[in-house]
Amino acid sequence: MAKSFYLETFGCQMNVVDSERIVATLHDLDYQQVDNPEQSDLILLNTCSVRDKAERKVYGHLNRFKALKQENPRLIIGVGGCVAQQEGEKILKKLPFVDLVFGTHNVHRLAELVGEVAVRRGQQLATEFLDRETRLRLFPRRAAGSGIARFVTVMQGCDNFCTYCVVPLVRGREISRPCDEVLDEVRALAGQGVKEITLIGQNVNSYNRQEATAPDFAGLLQQVHAIEGIERIRFVTSHPRDLSDPLIDSFASLEKLCPQLHLPVQSGSDPILTAMNRGYTVADYLGKVERLRAVRPDIRLSSDVIVGFPGETQEDADASLALVREIGYADIYLFLYSPRPGTAAAALVDDTPAAVKQARFEAILAAQKENSQRIWGADVGQILPILVEGPSRRNGEESLFGRSPWNRIVNFRGDPQLIGSIVPVKIIRNNTNTQFGTIL
Ligand code: SAH
Ligand code: SF4
Ligand code: F3S
């Protein structure tokens, strides 16, 4: 009988891509994926440690699996991703029922590590960082996922060291994948019928920062744009400091580039941006937004905002609120500051009462709700080009789902043969995260 595995993925697109690779590795080992941890021979969590809450969630899940291990001593439990990288051996000590901890640079060793556990039943740990050459050699190859819209990794790691952020510590230094490899992957995906590509990395617009002779991110985009069969291109995430003029101009010159950009501002106050080591001022940021809107008037922006960074005054928080209103983001991801081990900000005095932070959070959330309702609500009655991605099930009724140019999921009734094409859909209703329409 084939063995089975259960995999849960937390965090950002980096983990989603790593999980595709984990799935492919386990398929090669004759494991089949199941939705229920109770029926599996191998449980893996691919974890995120960007905030304390994300990390605690991992421990919560693991403790639930402890009982399963007591029932079935042959069960293998493994932890990968950013919490694994950050905590390493501590997980194995704290939770003796965990068999395997593998970090962000060790996904390629999964088969070997699972084999070791199966044979020896000893705990396995693999959290060492790899050198640049090895990482380039092992760069995630063609991902194993499926679908019409796919992620392609262009760079890994981060050198920015924003003072609150654990990512540079758990993902290591920035490396850019050679341009030819990215293009080969996109061409292969286009050959399989993929229509939309999202280029991903922690800071995609610093692509090839260290390689002066190789194409920068704007250059890469141009080449991806030339690939036949690909109809839509997006990218995430962009650091405002590295959003160059040529990249801004791409939004005018490359018609496949969707009119949508996630450009995390983090704070609307210069002293806080400085304390965060973000490398731009509010005025710099507003200037870039102005240029983006000049070259692509229909562009919709989204952002990340952190509330309650150490030392944040009411004035700083009001400045973030004012900026959220002024920019009129389509969406924001709002976070309460969470001190992370090993980061510079973790050493700062953080004496703002939790209730005060919460009130600041609620104020920005309410302002954003107005933005979102205004911007997404305006789609109602419009006819939008929707790239059909697959079947969806709503209220027990068969229907299709796709995405608008602004990346909103739109549900509508239609023939499954439309999957993979762009069709005109009139938007009828706007819900919180999705829209509903009728095909024309
Ligand atoms: N590389 C991306 C995403 C990093 S993590 C970028 O630079 O935009 C995603 C978001 O999590 C960040 O943009 C930030 O808003 C938030 N974040 C990171 N560390 C945090 C912390 N310690 N506390 C609260 N939010 C945090
Ligand atoms: Fe973290 Fe800053 Fe790097 Fe983004 S740019 S991953 S917030 S250190
Ligand atoms: Fe989380 Fe790691 Fe991504 S910390 S946000 S999964 S890089």
pLDDT tens column, 305-349: 999 999 999 999 999 999 999 999 999 999 999 999 999 999 999
CA 50–ligand 1 middle distance (angstroms)? 7
Q: Is the pLDDT of residue 2 over 70?
A: yes
Q: Which long-range contacts (C-beta less than 8 Å, at least 24 apart) are formed by 93-97? A: 95/59, 95/62, 95/63, 95/66, 96/123, 97/65, 97/66, 97/69, 97/70
Q: Count other Cβ atoms within 10 Å, centred on residue 303.
A: 23
Q: Is the pLDDT of residue 70 over 70?
A: yes
Q: Is the pLDDT of residue 224 over 90?
A: yes
Q: Where in the chain is the domain with CATH 2.40.50?
A: 383-439
Q: What is the pLDDT of residue 407?
A: 97
Q: Is the CB of 168 inside a 6 Å radius of any atom of ligand 2?
A: yes
Report the pLDDT averaged over residues 36-57: 94
pLDDT band at residue 144 using 50, 70 and 90 as cut-offs: low
Q: What is the pLDDT of residues 238-278, one digit of tens each?
A: 999 999 999 999 999 999 999 999 999 999 999 999 999 99
Which atom of ligand 3 is least distant from the CA of 54? 1
Output the CATH code of domain 131-258: 3.30.750.210
CA dist., res. 39 & res. 1, Å (int)? 13
DSSP state of 130: P
CA 119–ligand 1 middle distance (angstroms)? 40
CA 330–ligand 2 middle distance (angstroms)? 22
Pick the range with the lowest mean pLDDT from 50-59, 100-109, 250-259, 360-369. Answer: 50-59
How do 397-403 and 383-394 pair as beta strands? antiparallel
CA dist., res. 438 & res. 382, Å (int)? 11
Q: Chain centroid to CA 58: how far?
A: 18
Which atom of ligand 2 is least distant from the CA of 278? 2
Question: In which residue are the tokens 């801004």 written?
Answer: 248
Question: In which residue are the tokens 């090895």 written?
Answer: 134
Report the pLDDT averaged over residues 5-17: 94
CA 10–ligand 3 middle distance (angstroms)? 8
Number of residues assigned to the chain? 440
Q: Where in the chain is the domain with CATH 3.30.750.210?
A: 131-258
Q: Where in the chain is the domain with CATH 3.30.750.200?
A: 268-278+286-378
pLDDT band at residue 395 using 50, 70 and 90 as cut-offs: low
Please give the mean pLDDT across all residues of the chain: 95
> What residues does 81 pair with on adjacent strands?
47
Q: How would CATH label the architecture of 3-128?
A: 3-Layer(aba) Sandwich (3.40)
Q: Is the CB of 181 inside a 6 Å radius of any atom of ligand 1?
A: no
Phi-psi region of 208 (alpha: psi -120 to 50; beta: other; left: phi over 0): left
Q: Is the CB of 335 inside a 6 Å radius of any atom of ligand 1?
A: yes
CA dist., res. 155 & res. 323, Å (int)? 30
Q: Is the CB of 51 inside a 6 Å radius of any atom of ligand 1?
A: yes
Instruction: Report if pTM > 0.85.
Output: yes
CATH number assigned to the domain with residue range 268-278+286-378, chosen from the 4 options 3.40.640.10, 3.30.750.200, 3.40.50.920, 3.40.190.10? 3.30.750.200
Pocket lined around ligand 3, Cβ cut-off 6 Å: 11-12, 14-15, 48-50, 81-82, 166-167, 170-171
Domain 383-439: top CATH class: mainly beta
Q: Where in the chain is the domain with CATH 3.40.50.12160?
A: 3-128
pLDDT band at residue 396 using 50, 70 and 90 as cut-offs: low
Question: In which residue are the tokens 């939770």 written?
Answer: 95
Q: Is the CB of 202 inside a 6 Å radius of any atom of ligand 1?
A: yes
396 Cβ neighbours under 8 A, 6+ residues apart: none
Which atom of ligand 1 is least distant from the CA of 339? 22
Sheet order of strands, 232-236 included: 149-153, 196-200, 232-236
CA 376–ligand 2 middle distance (angstroms)? 28
CA-closest residue to ligand 2 atom 4: 202
